[in-house]
Amino acid sequence: MESRYLKFETKNGAEQRSRELWEARLGRSKKEEDITEFLYAAEVSESEIGGSYLLVDDEGAFLTNEEKEALDSEGSYQNWRMEYQPEAMTPPE
């Protein structure tokens, strides 16, 4: 399945939601001995603006219907990266 992307207006929004989704999947709060903390990977803007994205690489079973409807395409995510993660998009020399 092709990844889809959920945009958050805040820099910590994607990680926070990923943590909530992981706990929903576990059916309990995270314990100190748990190694995994997030259900999905997240990308954060390099600047103070731009927010963050949650990288959804499955069917999004734990997402709300509203979140599923708000998922962005690869193109939208890549455009965001060009604007808000220019260093990450610059090829190494």
Domain ranges of the chain: 4-89
How does residue 3 score in pLDDT terms, banded at 50, 70 and 90?
Answer: confident
Q: How many CA atoms lie within 13 A of 88 on its CB side?
A: 13
| AA identity, residue 55 | L
Q: Using alpha carbons only, how large is the chain's radius of gyration in Å?
A: 14
For residue 86, what pLDDT is reported? 84
For residue 87, what pLDDT is reported? 83
For residue 92, what pLDDT is reported? 62
For residue 41, what pLDDT is reported? 95
Q: Compute the distance between CA of residue 92 and CA of residue 24 in angstroms, rounded to an integer.
A: 39
For residue 88, what pLDDT is reported? 73
pLDDT digits (tens, 9 = 90+) for 36-92: 999 999 999 999 999 999 999 998 989 999 999 999 999 999 999 999 998 876 666
